[in-house]
Amino acid sequence: MNILVEELPDAVEIDGVEIPINSDFRSCLRVILAFEDNELTAYEKYVVMLNNLFPEMPPDTTIAIKQALKFLNGGREDGDDGTPKPRVYSFSKDADLIFAAFYQTHGVDLQIADLHWWKFQALFMDLGADTAFCQLVNLRKRVKTGRATKEERRAAREMGAIFDVPELDTRTPDEREAEARFLELVGKEAK
* Segment 158-171, tens digit of pLDDT: 999 999 998 887 77
- Name which residue leads in pLDDT, 77 or 38: 38
Mean pLDDT of the chain: 92
- Name which residue leads in pLDDT, 168 or 141: 141
Give the number of other Cβ atoms within 10 Å of residue 31's Cβ.
23
* Segment 11-45, tens digit of pLDDT: 999 999 999 999 999 999 999 999 999 889 889 99
Q: Is the pTM of this model over 0.75?
A: yes
What average pLDDT does the segment 133-140 reach? 98
Whether 105 shows a pLDDT value over 90: the answer reads yes
